Structure 1
Amino acid sequence: MNDLSARAPDAIHVVRSGPPGASPIVFLHALGLDLGIWDAQFAEFAGDRNVVALDLPGHGLSGAPDGAPTFEAIAMQVADTLASLDIASAHVIGISFGGMVAQALAIEQPSVVRSLTLVATSCTFPETVRQMLRDRARATRDGGMAIMAEAHLARWFPEAFRAQHPEVSDRFRKLLHRQDPSFHASLWELVATLDLKDRLTARFAETAIPLMVIVGEDDASAPVAAGQLMCDQARDAVLHVVPKCGHFPPVEYPERFNAFLREFLRD
């Protein structure tokens, strides 16, 4: 990224690029990774947008949170970070865990969210999925990040993409290996509690926040039905399904993803 890096309050690491006076876009990454997953989006939008990406607490160059993490606390750290950058409101894009944080931000601080783009994420889970997530947390504590990294990569990316882009798997694997297993497990325990549907419905009823949802056709972690459920909560929503795509549309199909985002922001 050809950008400016800075430290924000509470040890949140920020990367910023583009014209400072332009309309802000804020990117929130997935669990276990860092802001570098948005490289293709920085390259696309930094020419005419004020582009900001954060390392969420406990990720990348950001400090770990005090105590057990919550979606509300992380969302407030995002809001405080944007305030420190003199950003009153922004188009917020979150993928996977970052999409859950983005939903919490829209619920807790709706004035900060000019529009919401949710990618490969969910607003709630059935109990069977919650138990699977708790089991994943337990496996992380027992087996460590080396084992879990391979399981995540197999779940996130289709086999064909991993074969064609080993550099992506290598990059993501190294990021995952840097995570503390106990903290990583605590995040999965947090994800297992996700239940924002009713609060999201109430927020969209009160505030007409434009919503775009993007899902991968082959994403088992955040299927099309989960994306449709979030769209059903909003008055102004659009759903895009990316064919032959897994859990990371911005990485697997960056040109298509960027086109969806540019059209949404223009409208």
Structure 2
Amino acid sequence: MLVRANSVMLECQVEGTPGCDWLVLSHSIATDLTMWDEQVRVFGDRFHILRYDTRGHGGSHAPPAPYSFADLEADVIGLLDAFEIERAHFVGLSLGGMIALGLAINHPDRLHSIAVCDARPDSPPAFRAPWDERIAVARNEGMPGLVASTLQRWFLPDTLVTQPGVGEHVARMIKKTSVDGFVGCAAALQHLDYEAGLNRIVTPTLLLAGDADGPIPGINLKMAEAIAGARNAVIPGAGHISNLEQPRLFNEALAQFLDDLSAPLAQPRRA
């Protein structure tokens, strides 16, 4: 269904068990809400689940680029308001994990917890520069021009051989992403700046990453030092899109975190 949030029409799916705590799922750049199919299957009997396509992705509308993380945060708050969700557990991967950090810094009153998966809080030059080339490819060749390089960057080589369906699924999502949506979110990534606010996060936090996701496991250790009480988890045999590459291990880590949170979940921790 299309839902208006923050003046943008966003594609959403509501699943799971009404009456349970809400679980909101936010995907990476150049994917869509279908990347969470396995998590919906596993967690649907314990949570009321809202997953959505980020602006410019999947079935959501694509405002003109660029976008900011303030825009992406406001989209989520608009969705929570539209569905009358007072608080939710928020699980985000890559771009979605960065949105989770922003929500925890700026809107802690709307959260039970966050799971920050395969994400970072900042945009140093080595991270920022490659997005210029990716933006140029998207504009000059269209999104199909990004498929091969993105798959190589996101997954272990063996995964693309032994699990060809994973690569095919991701390729479809990349091709479906609008150029404006990709360029808009890439611009947000180039201006990512949540590191200074990490020590203000009081929401229960899981930092999760594939063990082969470049610098992210090490970055998570540093984030865990800044976020009081944060839990760190590493997924063996996974690169950047850990929920697709190792879904069982991803689900186990997420379930352990959610199970260990005390109930009822009413207030975030105080620093």
**TM-score relative to the length of structure 2:** 0.89
Equivalent position SS for 2:120: coil
1:216 to 210, 221, 243: 210
Q: Given the alignment of the two structures, is residue 27 of structure 1 paired with residue 25 of structure 2, yes or no?
A: yes
Q: How far did 1:183 drift? A: 3.6
Is the 8 Å Cα contact of residues 53 and 60 (structure 2) preserved in structure 1? Answer: yes
Q: Output the CA distance in 1 between the equivalents of 2:195 and 2:236.
A: 26
Task: Supply the distance in 2 between the matched residues of 1:17 and 1:242 (Cα, whole angstroms).
Answer: 26
Deviations 1:2-38 (A, max 9, x none): xxx5634331111111222101111000101111101
Q: Which residue of structure 1 aligns with residue 263 of structure 2?
A: none
User: Is this contact kept in 2: 1:72–1:108, CA < 8 A?
Assistant: no
Give the letter aligned to residue 55 of structure 2: P
**Correspondence 1:100 to 2:98:** yes
Matched, 1:42 2:40: yes
Q: Deviations over 1:30-54 (max 9, x none)?
A: 1011111011110111112111111
Tell me the percent identity: 26
CA distance in 2, matches of 1:161, 1:148: 19
C-alpha distance in 2 between matches for 1:257 and 1:124:
24
Q: 1:180 to 1:18 in 2, by over 3 A?
A: closer
What residue is the counterpart of 2:152 in the other structure?
154
Report the equivalent of 2:87.
89
Which 5+ residue runs of structure 1 have no aligned equivalent? none
Given that 2:14 and 2:50 are in contact with CA atoms closer than 8 Å, whether structure 1 keeps it comes out as: yes
Question: What SS class does the counterpart of residue 226 from structure 2 fall into?
Answer: coil
Residue 171 of structure 2: aligned partner: 173
The 8 Å contact of residues 27 and 94 in structure 1, kept in 2 or not, is answered as: yes
- 1:236 matched to 2:236? The reply is no
Q: Deviations over 1:47-105 (max 9, x none)?
A: 12111111111111111135521111111111111111111111110000111111122
5+ residue gaps, structure 2, are 261-271
2:264 maps to: none
Which of 241, 247, 250 is residue 240 of structure 2 equivalent to?
Answer: 247
SS of the aligned residue for 1:232 comes to helix
Checking the alignment, whether the CA contact within 8 Å between 2:57 and 2:182 is kept in structure 1 is: no
* CA RMSD between the two structures: 1.6
**Partner SS for 2:212:** coil
Q: Whose relative contact order is higher, 1 or 2, with alpha carbons under 8 Å and at least 6 apart?
A: 2
Give yes or no for contact 1:17–1:42 (8 Å, CA) kept in 2. yes
| Count of equivalent residues | 258
SS of equivalent to 2:207: strand
**Hey, what's the Cα distance between the residues in 1 that align with 2:72 and 2:63?**
9
